[in-house]
Structure 1
Amino acid sequence: MAETGASPLPCTPPARSPLFSAEPFIWLTARVLEQRLFAYHFLRGAPAAVEAALDAYRNEDGGYGHALEPDLRGPVSQPLHTAHALRVLDAVGRCGGQRVERVCRYLTSVSTADGALPAVHPSGRGYPAAPLVQGAPTASDTPDRAGSRGSLPATGPVVGLLHRNEVWHAWLFRATDFCWQAVANLEKPHPHEVLAAVAFLDSVPDRPRAEAAADRLGRLVRAQWLAALDPGRSVPPGRAPGARHVPQQATHRGDPGPRHFPHDFARSPASLARAWFTDDEMARSLDHLAAGQQEDGGWPLRRRPWAPVPALETRALVTIEALRTLRAYGRFVG
């Protein structure tokens, strides 16, 4: 029997559980896509319903736009939106087939000369965007002969997701080589580069090489204080926990940004980044995450909002991710 776009939802989660508190926040504030993702992950919703909501963001070129990634507005396709779409498809087990073939054709069309993805494609210039994603170069960026730059934060998660789902396409060969080189070149990385590297290393097929690269990267994360190992400790602005100073390369456009915690790097126990932290460090990190749920049932943004609507849309994403991370580590969510 063909699967329909909706399915009956089970009874309400247990009262006073994190899930019980988060549910009204999602129905009140989230976009249709996040509402259906929430239903899929926690209320036995149908994957077809998620796919149907995601289709509203798809463009004729095979990419995704229309502010699918809330911090990047405008209708045109962008690599960041397309990476977001792949995460959604992966989450519901639908990352394959002709849909992903079209995505790969789009990725080929917007790639830089070295086969990587730019942080922001020039077609998006002129549309509102958060300062964080306006194409500022990072330590891993390499200029191509056209003047645009390949970006590890844009490329790594996409390559990782495609490998995770055993997608094979000509675009992947050069993009994978780019990611290996970019990860090897990281010496004083920004946390966003580390997150992208982990997304790549967790799924790339060459597991011995990935494990060796992750081990080196984990030592950098600890040596450069990129993870707050004691979340309850107050840290002066612009200073990493326990460090005398924040390396200049660990900031973005002069802004130290939000602190990152062990659970940010290791979203599940299966991640290679889990080995970077002790059991006690991870437990403190998860305790901090669980305690972050606010009175309205959602989790907060950990950075200054740049516009009201993207902030609200992002909070729904952050809330779903927090619940998924806690559940992945065996924490009770409801």
Structure 2
Amino acid sequence: MTANQTAQITERAETFLWTSGRVLEQRRFEVLFGRAPDGSGLAAALAAYRTADGAYAYGLEPDIRGPEPQPLTAATALMILEDAGRLDPASVTPVLDWLSTVTTAEGGVPAVLPTLGAYPRPPWLPVAAEPAADVLSTGQILGPVLRSGVTHPWIPGAVEFARRGVEAMEQTHPYGVESALMFLASAPDRAWAREQADRLGKLLREQRMVLLDPAHPEDTPVAPGYAPGEYHLPYDYAPSPDSLARAWFSDEEMQRSLDHLAASQDSDGGWPISWAKWSATTEVEARPGVTVKALRVLRAYGRL
């Protein structure tokens, strides 16, 4: 790929974000790609999604609607706070205080709470009266929290829950592995994290949870409950060269996946969503975030 081609990828994506992105993704792009001097604008955009109890809602995570905060939305907020340079006690502690109120006896948090039941939601987000804690949500949350250096009573119990959950992972699914990796990237016990990452990598390949050759999707089964064509590629597990999962893939496998990512940019400059489309509005709101993520991956591997 030539320098001109890579420049066009960024230019087309930027046009898409200014045309179709929410203020949140526009501000996030500015911060991540040097268009803004600091993260104050991004932090201000995120603040619009805050709830009175210190958590986040209002469609911050496009598939999770309504005014009631949810753990998966808290995970998204923490990642954005990290991009804004706001992983400090003033920003993180209110989120952890709220998480403490929805933590189960197991020490972790569910993906969504019963409060979501009163609002529109996709069919793959079932609402239980007494939901169990899940590594899917707890792992995503712990990643930025542990990197923040903030101390809080919620953290030790959540770390122990996530450790047990990762160690128990056998028959799993791609998003579960991704969430486990988010936790492992910042887990305090680094030797243990590397051991578990190595084990999950072998599990991933044994269970064929990664599309290694985009030219032959028929060789990889779609995970149960996922949308047709909802494959996960090497870059999904290893979004940067220093990711724990980078060792899972050969250079050829990684380069094929990155070529596929670059080629997947739509004519309008954005990237498509791969999961099921249950609402036109949520698809429109999700694509800018997917586009920013694609740009980050391509840049991390020197493709931009």
**Aligned match of 1:206:** 189
Change (3 A) 1:283 1:108: same
**Aligned match of 1:80:** 72
Looking at secondary structure, tell me which structure has more helix per residue.
Answer: 2
**Aligned match of 1:115:** 107
1:297 corresponds to 2:289: no
Letter in 2 for 1:325: V
**Secondary structure at the residue paired with 2:118?**
coil
Identity of counterpart residues, as a percentage?
45
**Aligned match of 1:21:** 12
Query: Are the aligned partners of 1:164 and 1:204 in contact in 2 as well (CA < 8 Å)?
Result: no
**TM-score, normalising length: structure 2:** 0.94
Cα deviation for residue 167 of structure 1 reads 2.0
The size of the alignment, in residue pairs, is 300
Deviations 1:15-41 (A, max 9, x none): 961111011211111111111111111
1:30 corresponds to 2:30: no
**Secondary structure at the residue paired with 1:131?**
coil
Pick aligned residue for 2:144 from 161, 177, 182? 161
Query: Are the aligned partners of 2:87 and 2:148 in contact in 1 as well (CA < 8 Å)?
Result: yes
Letter in 1 for 2:16: F
Structure 1 stretches of at least 4 aligned residues deviating more than 6 Å after TM superposition: none
Cα deviation for residue 90 of structure 1 reads 1.0
**Aligned match of 1:7:** none
> Residues of 1 paired with 2:99 and 2:31: CA distance?
28
Pick aligned residue for 2:41 from 49, 53, 69? 49
Deviations 1:124-154 (A, max 9, x none): 2111112223348xxxxxxxxx832001111
Pick aligned residue for 1:225 from 186, 197, 208? 208
Q: Aligned runs of 1:95-114 on 2, under 5 Å?
A: 95-114=87-106
> Residues of 2 paired with 1:114 and 1:186: CA distance?
16
**Aligned match of 2:120:** 128
- Structure 1 unmatched runs, 5+: 1-12, 137-145
1:308 corresponds to 2:280: yes
**Aligned match of 2:293:** 321
Cα deviation for residue 234 of structure 1 reads 3.5
1:266 corresponds to 2:238: yes
Query: Are the aligned partners of 2:6 and 2:303 in contact in 1 as well (CA < 8 Å)?
Result: no
> Residues of 2 paired with 1:208 and 1:193: CA distance?
21
> Residues of 1 paired with 2:190 and 2:105: CA distance?
27
Pairwise CA RMSD: 1.9
**Secondary structure at the residue paired with 1:149?**
coil
**TM-score, normalising length: structure 1:** 0.86
Pick aligned residue for 1:251 from 224, 232, 242? 224
Letter in 2 for 1:129: R
**Secondary structure at the residue paired with 1:204?**
coil
Change (3 A) 1:257 1:230: closer
Query: Are the aligned partners of 1:79 and 1:118 in contact in 2 as well (CA < 8 Å)?
Result: yes
Letter in 1 for 2:242: A
Query: Are the aligned partners of 1:119 and 1:135 in contact in 2 as well (CA < 8 Å)?
Result: no
Letter in 1 for 2:262: A
**Aligned match of 1:60:** 52
> Residues of 2 paired with 1:76 and 1:148: CA distance?
16
> Residues of 2 paired with 1:34 and 1:325: CA distance?
16
Query: Are the aligned partners of 2:117 and 2:127 in contact in 1 as well (CA < 8 Å)?
Result: no
> Residues of 1 paired with 2:139 and 2:124: CA distance?
17
**Aligned match of 1:142:** none
Change (3 A) 1:152 1:135: farther
Change (3 A) 1:147 1:257: farther
Deviations 1:270-324 (A, max 9, x none): 1101110011110001000000001000001112311011101110000000000
> Residues of 2 paired with 1:215 and 1:41: CA distance?
30
> Residues of 2 paired with 1:322 and 1:303: CA distance?
15
